[in-house]
Amino acid sequence: MQHEMRKALWALKTAKVDLDAGDGAASVNRSYYAMFYTARAALLDKDEDIPKTHSALIGKFSSCFVQSGAFAKQLGRDFNKIEEQR
């Protein structure tokens, strides 16, 4: 789990660098991966299996955390939207 969070924080840091450099597309990509790695860490923390595809991981994160109310529904929508944009 800690390894996934380190990757998430690195992706978030590089997203900010890309945004500051004016590279919006790269920033969106890195922001998506920050969310992706954080979702993996959350699932690992709950001892859940990690799906093999990105869309399956987002679905599992949603069913485990968004639908239960642990995270806002808007976060689930944003996660799906940024996956499409990456």
Summarised one tens digit per residue, pLDDT across range 14-72 is: 999 999 999 999 999 999 999 999 999 999 999 999 999 999 999 999 999 999 999 99
Round to whole Å and give the CA distance between 15 and 4.
16
Is 86 a residue whose pLDDT tops 90? Answer: no
pLDDT for 14 equals 98
Among 79, 74, 78, which residue's Cα sits nearest to residue 57? 79
Round to whole Å and give the CA distance between 55 and 76.
12
